[in-house]
Chain A
Amino acid sequence: MNTSILLVEDEKLLSESISQYLSNSGITCTQAYTYNSAVNKIAESEFDCIVIDIGLPDGSGIDLISYIKKKKIEAGLIIISARNSVDDKLEGFTTGADDFIVKPFHLSELNARINAIIRRKKFNGKEVLEFHEISVRLESRSVFVKENKINLTKKEFDLLVYFISNANKIITKDAIAYNLWKNNADLAISSDIIYTHIKNLRKKLIEGGSKDYVNAIYGIGYKFGE
């Protein structure tokens, strides 16, 4: 399945990085720098997900979401915003956004969120995330290696989903900390907790019969893949 997204972000340098990262993960990324070009691109083609910056030079991202909803376009909607305010989030969600990410974010985090939304839309909740012999049933939060059920803690499960969403990518410790602990990521970074969780997940997967996909990249972080 080929997924395509529309990225509406006026900061070209950021837009470039995002599109490059997503393309490497097999997502076709169309870039729009303004409200109007976004409207045109929406008219031209269909997208699985639209990523929208709130502050656009010629309009508001919130208005763009209203426009998309009015046109009854069935795409996942993610807001990226420089403002981390409760009001902005509330407005975004009530207008119809599916997710809200505050700048600055890790590309791996955005990737994971886009994947999650697309899965939710496509599988209507009965999503299964697969990576070689590992399959993750998201709605029941259970993990299987071939036929073996693996018992993971909540954090180990989230970690695995994050790994698979960013398979074959190098993920920094910071990005993992943020994904698992959000605002308390700093506490995780200053401790060995990430290492502990990864060690446990790795052990459980191998014991369940999976190959060892967790590669530590010295000094940077981890890569989930062969």
Chain B
Amino acid sequence: MKLLYKNIIINSLASLLIICFGGIITYFFIVNKIKQESYEHLTSERISVEEKLKKGLSPNELQNNIGDEIIIKEISAPSNKKPFFTTVAKEEEANEDYEEGEAEFEAQAIVFDYSVNNKYYNITIIKSYDNDEALGENILNAVMISAILMVLAIVFINTFIYRKIWAPFYFTLKVLKHFTISRRDTLTFPKAKTAEFEQLNNAITLMAEKISHDYLSLKEFTENASHEIQTPLAVINSKIEMCLQDTQLSPQQAKMLMEASYAVNNLVNLNKGLIILTKLDNNQIDAPVDVNISKKIYSRLNLFEDFIQEKDIDVNLKIDDSVVVKIDPVLAGILFDNLIKNAIKHNLPNGGKINIEVTKELIKIANTGAQPKVNTDKFFERFYKEGSTESLGLGLAIVKKICDIYHFNILYSHKDGLHTITLNIKQV
């Protein structure tokens, strides 16, 4: 979820919660205050009623003399009850909004006993008008309006923050997305006004510089190491060859020397493969030129003629001679060498088939061969090999890497005893 939406949702929820809570508290405060005021009012009414009774006003006269509703009952004996406040259910008057049965509300009242001239009265003064419910409604309305205004404000403020204040952050993000270390990009950011973003940019720039530096030294190390390995390998190879010249060698010794030689050879080929992969990883390639695919394939097939004859492989070509692809010609050579070599190596021991098809969209190289025993998804991974120790498992990794560089989609499939590698060569 976008930061903006997250912010808006969290802020809105929090604000709504606070506003509701605030509304409830306000309601109770106000209700309480009104009650207190009612009590004060009723107390002062009581005093005035008492005074008026003392002055000799009859209860009937009192009814009209006071704003509030008053109920005076004569009682036979005096009571010691102290005045107390209570609520009385009261009919709503002239309020059209309410239907009849519901037109009742609780009104504040004071009940007290009073005696004057040996007459005892139980008096109830009911506050004439009390509008708690309307109050609640008003508060609810106020709360709702504030809530809506608040949410609108949050949306506006956040959108503004998102657009203006976070702009440098999104720019930084965009720059980072396009950063490719092997291209030796340098990161440049405009000065950010917000301190944190400026710090972020500085930290990223520093980190990128360090990573680039480490990457370069690692790359140099890998390159140098691969090349430095060649000389000791040459020494080992030459010593083995010298030993083999010895006519006094026992068959046992000769066998061991050949095994050593075989292992060194593997190491040499592995190293060669790694050097190519390192070069490809580092994009040390020449600018692409127009390469005619059919010519390239024919010339490469020529180099394999001996092997094709030896295994009696039937080669079927369906090649569009006009297909041209922009690629480094050396890499094109390596690509087809590896693919054709693979098709020969993993073919049937005798009388197999190789079908090569080239169209403007696709290059398909298919060969007969045994059912793959293992996970075919991993064919293009480095050092992946099918049990045999003869292959080093780098050939298809190199093919894949070259395809990646030129954005060719590569697919392996196996159907009816035919292994097919398909390159989608449509370049945009």
A interface list, Cβ under 8 A from B: 11, 13-14, 17-18, 20-21, 24, 82-84, 86, 102-108, 155, 169-170, 172, 174-175, 181, 183-184, 186-188, 190-193, 196-197, 217-221
B230 within 8 A of A: yes
Residue among A169, A217, A220, A221 with max Cβ neighbours from chain B (10 Å): A220
Contact with A along B145-189 (1 / 0, CB 8 A): 000000000000000000000000000000000000000000000
Of the residues B241, B255, B261, B310, contact of A107 by C-beta under 8 Å: B241
Residues of A within 8 A of B330 (CB): 86
B62 contacts the other chain (CB 8 A): no
* The 4 A-B residue pairs with the shortest CB-CB distance in the complex, in nearest-first order: A104-B234, A17-B238, A82-B230, A103-B234
Contact: A17 with B241, CB < 8 Å? yes
Residues of A within 8 A of B306 (CB): 155, 181, 188, 193, 197
* Distance A102 CA – B276 CA, assembled complex (angstroms): 14
Are B234 and A218 closer than 8 Å at their CB atoms? no
Comparing B29-37, B53-61, B210-218, B265-273, the segment that makes contact with chain A is B265-273
Q: How many residues of B sit at the interface, in one of the four size bands?
A: 35 or more
Looking at the complex, which of B119-127, B337-345, B353-361 is the stretch in contact with chain A?
B337-345
With A82-B230, A82-B231 as contacts: A14 and B310 at CB distance below 8 Å: no
A218 touches B233 (CB 8 A): no
Contact between chains at A14 and B231 (CB < 8 Å): yes
Residues in chain A near residue B227, CB distance under 8 A? 82-83
Task: Tell me the minimal C-beta distance from B333 to chain A in angstroms.
Answer: 9
Q: Does the CB pair B234–A105 fall under 8 Å?
A: yes
- Residues from chain A with a CB closer than 8 A to the CB of B268 are 104
A102 contacts across to B, CB distance below 8 A: 230
**B254 x A108 contact (CB < 8 A):** no
Enumerate chain B residues within 8 angstroms of A106, measured Cβ to Cβ: 237, 241
Cβ–Cβ contact A14 & B235, under 8 A: yes
The smallest C-beta distance from A102 to any residue of chain B, in angstroms, reads 8
24 A-B residue pairs with CB within 8 Å: A11-B231, A17-B241, A20-B242, A84-B272, A84-B275, A86-B330, A104-B230, A104-B264, A104-B268, A105-B237, A106-B241, A172-B241, A172-B258, A174-B265, A181-B303, A183-B337, A188-B306, A191-B310, A192-B310, A193-B310, A196-B310, A217-B254, A218-B251, A220-B258
Contacts of A184 in B (CB 8 A): 303-304, 307, 337, 341
Q: Which of B266-323 contact A (CB under 8 A)?
A: 268-269, 272, 275, 303-304, 306-307, 310-311
Chain B hits for A193, CB < 8 A: 306-307, 310
A-B contact count (CB 8 A): 106
A155 — which chain B residues lie within 8 A by C-beta? Answer: 306
Q: Are A21 and B234 in contact (CB under 8 A)?
A: no
A219 to B257, CA, bound (A): 10
Say yes or no: is B244 at the interface (Cβ < 8 Å to chain A).
yes
Query: B238–A187 contact, CB under 8 A?
Result: no
Tell me whether A187 and B344 are in contact in the complex, defined as CB-CB below 8 angstroms, given that A86-B330, A103-B230, A192-B310 are known contacts. Answer: yes
10 other A-B residue contacts (CB within 8 Å) besides A13-B239, A106-B237? A14-B235, A17-B235, A102-B230, A103-B234, A104-B230, A104-B238, A108-B241, A184-B304, A187-B304, A220-B254
| B80 located at the interface, meaning its Cβ lies under 8 Å from any Cβ of chain A in the complex | no
The smallest beta-carbon distance between A70 and chain B, in angstroms, is: 28
Contacting B341 at CB < 8 Å: which of A169, A172, A187? A187
CA distance A190 to B262 in the complex (A): 12
Q: How far is the CA of A196 from the CA of B239 in the complex (A)?
A: 29
Contact B255 A219 (CB under 8 A): yes
B262 surroundings in chain A (CB, below 8 A): 174
Complex Cα spacing A192 to B311, Å: 9
Answer yes or no: B97 CB below 8 A from chain A CBs. no
